[in-house]
Amino acid sequence: MKFLHTSDWHLGRALYGRKRYEEFELFLNWLLETIEKQKIDALLVAGDIFDTSTPSNRAQQLYYRFLINVAKSHCQHVVVIAGNHDSPSFLGAPKELLNALNVYVVSEMTESPEDEVIELKNSHNETEAIICAVPYLRDKDLRTVTAGESIEDKMTKLIDGLKQHYNSVCEVAEQKQNALMKREQTAYVPIVGMGHLFTSGGKTLDGDGVRDLYVGTLAHIGKDDFPSSIDYLALGHLHIAQKVGSEEHIRYCGSPIPMGFGEASQDKKVVLIEFNERVNERVDVNESDEFNQQTQHSPTQHSPNQKSIVEELLIPCFQVLSRITGTVDEIVDEVNILKIDAPKCWLEIEYTGKDVVNNLSEIINELIENTEIEVRRIKNKRVIDKVLSSSDFGETLDDLNENEVFERCLETFEVSEQDKPELIHTYREIIQSINENDTQAE
């Protein structure tokens, strides 16, 4: 059985005001083509389908049209879990209707772990895989608040809550697996986990739009905190494709398109997982196939338990992003190169020269006149420094994120270093609760 692991689509996301629907549509078309060419049996979407809890009509249209097209393809099942950007009530509202298309949506934690365990069955009604579809777990799902508890106590409760929930869901899956194996069904039934969370050692990039899931020191869990019964764990939330603790079978696939200029140089990927009892006899993908000439493949990896083969598939670049940093001469040289090498790219430019250049925008706009290059942002660090040093207002809001604004307030009111950690932690709890608020819920 073949699975394809994807996540963090963020449908509807803009880049400095520029809508990106064409990129999303190209990706979904490529994904559908990949499903057909690779004969994928089940698609796993590990959260953050939409960029906001109130997605636009265009974003919704892309999502539902894609699911309808998948239902017509070779793929027999789609499993979708909610991420921290998704509205649980919005994502889960059409779940009964989507079930008719063999699309299973798990949008939030319920009182019963069984609600997150899905059996994928073939046309003969035989269970081929068991999915532990754990959605993004909010603070309120994992712990109860106790008066006077320390930051460390809160973090411990969050970590214990995460581990306990995964253990509870996987225990249900293991019971189903054991029951199936005791019957006449002889084929091994794999357990595939899904999650949307931050694990220990996870790699992120500045400006990738990933909000820390947990406040303070972050309640990260490691590879050993997940139940050993999971044959493959498909994770979402981090935008860089990566293994967790060097484990082949615990992975983030990353976002399918660069969410910001910090991701511009990344290879974007989906992960193909094939379960086969005789994996050592598997024939590799035919590299001469026309499709595979366009879609690069990383070396095939065998998972440690030898029940599966894990393979990364590179996603084509649908829109070139480029970040240029340097002096005026260096910026001009780089833009002239891009006019030849990437004539339709989007640019982020940061001037870092020593001299104050007041007409940088005019210089750049003249350079790209009559081209298809778009400059999405120009950051003139020297002008900003000059303005800040000559005024009493300090940084502008554009230069600060919400955490930095609060830290400036603490400095302004001369809050002691001893009191800062608790105040910062409390503030971040408030911000987290705002980000997690389900605006679609009644």
Asked whether residue 300 carries a pLDDT value surpassing 80, the answer given is no
Task: Provide the pLDDT for residue 329.
Answer: 92
41 Cβ neighbours under 8 A, 6+ residues apart: 1, 2, 3, 74, 75, 76, 77, 120, 128
**Percentage of the chain surpassing pLDDT 70?**
82
Sign of the C-alpha dihedral, residues 219, 223, 229, 234? Answer: positive
Instruction: Give the whole-angstrom CA distance, residue 136 versus residue 213.
Output: 9
More confident residue, 418 or 69: 69
Joined tokens for residue 17: 């005001």
- The answer on pLDDT for 310 being more than 80 is yes
- Is pLDDT larger for residue 293 or for residue 23? 23
Say how far apart CA 72 and CA 161 lie, in whole Å.
Answer: 39
Question: Given 3.90.1210.10, 3.40.50.80, 3.30.160.720, 3.60.20.10, which CATH number is that of 321-436?
Answer: 3.30.160.720
- Each domain of the chain, given as residue ranges in start order, spans 2-314, 321-436
Q: pLDDT confidence of 166, banded at 50, 70, 90?
A: very high
The residue ranking higher by pLDDT, 97 or 182, is 97
Residue 380: which pLDDT band, with cuts at 50, 70 and 90? confident
Q: Which of 401, 347, 349 is nearest to 380 (CA)?
A: 349
Q: What φ, ψ does residue 179 adopt, rounded to 5°?
A: -65, -40
Token output for 255: 């976002």
Q: What pLDDT shows up at residue 355? A: 82
Q: Which amino acid is at 98?
A: L
Model confidence, pTM = 0.81
pLDDT at 404: 75
Q: Give the pLDDT score at 391.
A: 45
Question: Which pLDDT score is estimated for 281?
Answer: 38
The winner for highest mean pLDDT among 4-18, 182-196, 297-311, 387-401 is 4-18
Closest CA to 31 of 191, 276, 275, 268: 268
Mean pLDDT on 168-197: 89
pLDDT at 129 (0 to 100) = 94
**Class of the domain covering 2-314:** alpha beta
Task: Give the pLDDT band of residue 286 (cuts 50, 70, 90).
Answer: very low
Q: What is the pLDDT of residue 284?
A: 42
Nearest CA to 237 among 214, 210, 264?
A: 210
Cα(353)–Cα(381) distance, integer angstroms: 8
Burial of residue 164 (CB within 10 Å: 0-12, 13-18, 19+) is exposed
What mean pLDDT is predicted for residues 26-42?
97
Average pLDDT over residues 270-294: 58
Average pLDDT on 327-356 reads 91
Higher pLDDT, residue 372 or 304:
372
What pLDDT, on a 0 to 100 scale, did the predictor assign at position 288? 41
Top-confidence range, 69-78, 217-226, 403-412: 69-78
Q: Which residue has the tokens 């290879």?
A: 267
pLDDT digits (tens, 9 = 90+) for 195-251: 999 887 777 666 555 655 444 444 578 889 999 999 999 999 999 999 998 889 999
Going by pLDDT thresholds of 50, 70 and 90, the confidence category of residue 185 is low
User: Can you give the pLDDT at residue 216?
Assistant: 40
- Among 105-114, 202-211, 393-402, name the most confident range: 105-114
What pLDDT does residue 258 have?
A: 93
Whether residue 332 is predicted with pLDDT greater than 60 in this model: the reply is: yes
For the segment 89-94, the average pLDDT, to the nearest whole number, is 94
